[in-house]
Structure 1
Amino acid sequence: MFTPADVDALRGAQELVELGILSAERQAALVRTWGRSFARLADWQTSLLATVALESGADLDESTATLAAEVVPRVEALQSYVWRRHLVSASARRLADAEPTAGSPGSAAPLTVGFVDIVGYTSRSKSLTEHELVAWIETFENETTALVVARGGRIIKNIGDEVLYVADDPRAALDVALELCRRGSDEADPFPEVRAGLAHGVTVRRLGDVYGETVNIAARLTSAARPGSVLVDRGAYAALNGVDDDVEVHHPDFHFRLLRRLSVKGYSRLAAWVVRPRD
């Protein structure tokens, strides 16, 4: 049932525990995170191999086995390379934090959290073939990821028709949201119509994900935003305008319009502003 590779893996995990890197809680969390991430990756990779095998017209089992023997070592090397690059980037961000939380499985720091949601996803997906739906979603994810990274932000995760991202700079996060909404409102652009919500405040980062009230507020604002619009919370408004409260100010690049207090899940009177470029 088990192989020498399983024993080596168990020994490696035990060594991390002995080094003080993994506690029982962290070990369980790491297993869950690795399990979810690699299960999705493996499912996508095997589907890709099966598709290539079918397109070749050869025997499925034989072609898949041959492809796997040639492809798996190369994919494994690339995965290791990508992981190391992200490890360097994450380490640099951690070192840049003024006061990282020592000994904690998570850390809290001010961040701008953004959600971008495709408008009318359910109805549109019903009219598309499987191939068209995959291409549509991949266009959305690829273009969103490219823009977020170009502005210095980070994609946290894709949730079906929605993308969650964060940025240290509130202006960068807003630029992303406004540009995606602009593209979605352009009928000549194949990018789907979207809406967005931004919130700025202390955010808990743990195992590559983000948690806390800032994340919850950003999600609620997105669900309340109209197609093609961006809503921001009080924290983002203050950070973008350099003020400590919701006093009305004149921003040289953006127009902020205060809405009536929103009643959304978990918040009966949530302050929100619609943001548009002045030009």
Structure 2
Amino acid sequence: MAGPAGPTASGAGDRAGRVEELILGEAPHLNRVQVSEQAGVPLELARELWRLLGFAETTDDVLAFTRADVDALRLSAELTSLGVLSDDSQAALVRTLGRSFARLAEWQTTLLARVATAHLVPGSDEDPVEALAELTAEVLPRVEQLQAYTWKRHLATASSRLLDVSGGSTEPGEPGEAVLPQAVCFVDIVGFTSRSKSLREAELVAWIEAFEDASSSIVLDHGGRIIKNIGDEVLLLADDPVVAAEIALEMTRRGSDPDDAFPEVRAGIAYGAVVLRLGDVLGATVNVAARLTSLARPGTVLVDEGAHAHLLALDEASEQAAYTFRRPPRASVKGYSRLQPWVLRRA
């Protein structure tokens, strides 16, 4: 069974143990065998769950666990008995939880450490670890409450969206998956590599954060949702291709404005069946959208035949067309020898 932390040395280890005790609610006093027995979970299963969560392996004589670990194992067993965690979905779900919270914890710890250090009086004998411990005790309950609220709100939104799009049913998929018609859009910064070489580290971070912040605002304001930021690229989803089209056109418009700090971008949109799995998206529609983005010229939006057909049908049904389309030659890209893109513009 793995553990959140291994044995600590004296000195700095004792001070770090104080922070650990504040976060976990008590000092670690159980080994992996005791946790397994008290939770009523086989040791091998307990070891596998903690490994999937991303914690390091410990030996039977290391006291690395608390009653919170017992409760977590017991809850996992209860979810399994209720059918929420099946053998097929358990590993993927636990691994995703572990990775997501590990990244969040790294960022939060760095932020707390910076704040704690900033409050130290220069030349004093104050211990930064003690300052971090005190700040953690003050901040942790508030962060925990905010995280729980944010999760529940997103859970409610995702549940409503699934029912609205699917009518209460989805295409068959693996456990923990849903297959739904979605518009997938990639938006990519033009010339990112050359620009990033001329920036210092702090400037690069500020530039990317400004891009992510502006992109998030545009996507949310139009009713889309960001799946992930990949450095210089944003992957987003929309239930309706019109929403994806409006988002992509707004981003390319801003990127083409010399008076706007938003970087020049290009975009690709595909519409079709998408596998929604553990917060990520998979399938041919996603691949096509990525390929279209690589083909798009700076400041342009390319759409696939599925998105084109949907948008064209809306234009034909309305009194005034919202978009114009230009069909360039078919393209040959990896995995798609005759991909037909369409250049999308506002009418």
* Pairwise same-fold verdict (TM > 0.5): yes
User: Structure 1 length as normaliser, TM-score?
Assistant: 0.93
Q: Are the equivalent residues in 2 in contact too, given 1:241–1:251 (CA < 8 A)?
A: no
Q: Secondary structure at the match of 1:166?
A: strand
Task: Determine which structure has greater relative contact order: mean sequence separation of CA pairs < 8 Å that are 6+ residues apart, divided by chain length.
Answer: 1
Q: Counterpart of 2:115? A: 52
Whichever residue aligns with residue 192 of structure 2, its letter is Y
Unaligned runs of 5+ in 1: 244-249
Q: 2:266 aligns with which of 195, 199, 203?
A: 195
Displacement after TM superposition at 1:100 (Å): 2.4
Q: Is 1:264 aligned with 2:264?
A: no
Q: Secondary structure at the match of 1:263?
A: strand
Displacement after TM superposition at 1:140 (Å): 1.1
Q: Counterpart of 2:252? A: 181
Displacement after TM superposition at 1:101 (Å): 4.4
Displacement after TM superposition at 1:135 (Å): 1.5
Q: Which has the larger radius of gyration?
A: 2
Q: 1:112 aligns with which of 183, 189, 192?
A: 183
Unaligned runs of 5+ in 2: 1-63, 122-126
Measured in 2, the distance between the counterparts of 1:60 and 1:261 equals 61
Q: 2:307 aligns with which of 236, 240, 246?
A: 236
Measured in 1, the distance between the counterparts of 2:208 and 2:110 equals 17
Q: Is 1:214 aligned with 2:285?
A: yes
Whichever residue aligns with residue 159 of structure 2, its letter is S
Displacement after TM superposition at 1:54 (Å): 3.0
Displacement after TM superposition at 1:62 (Å): 2.5
Q: 1:100 aligns with which of 165, 170, 174?
A: 170
Displacement after TM superposition at 1:158 (Å): 1.0
Whichever residue aligns with residue 72 of structure 2, its letter is A
Q: Counterpart of 1:247? A: none
Displacement after TM superposition at 1:251 (Å): 7.3
Q: Secondary structure at the match of 1:242?
A: helix
Q: Counterpart of 2:323? A: 254
**What RMSD over aligned residues (CA atoms) do the two structures have, in Å?**
1.7
Q: Secondary structure at the match of 1:107?
A: strand
Q: Counterpart of 1:84? A: 152
Whichever residue aligns with residue 133 of structure 2, its letter is A
- After the TM superposition, which parts of structure 1 deviate over 3 Å for at least 4 consecutive aligned residues? 101-104
Displacement after TM superposition at 1:25 (Å): 1.8
Measured in 2, the distance between the counterparts of 1:50 and 1:192 equals 32
Can you list the C-alpha shifts for 1:234-263, whole angstroms capped at 9, x where unaligned? 1110011128xxxxxx97122211011111
Measured in 2, the distance between the counterparts of 1:238 and 1:217 equals 15
Q: Counterpart of 1:246? A: none
Q: Counterpart of 2:224? A: 153
Identity %: 60
Measured in 2, the distance between the counterparts of 1:156 and 1:215 equals 12
Q: Counterpart of 2:195? A: 124
Aligned residues: 272
Q: Secondary structure at the match of 1:228?
A: coil
Q: Is 1:43 aligned with 2:109?
A: no
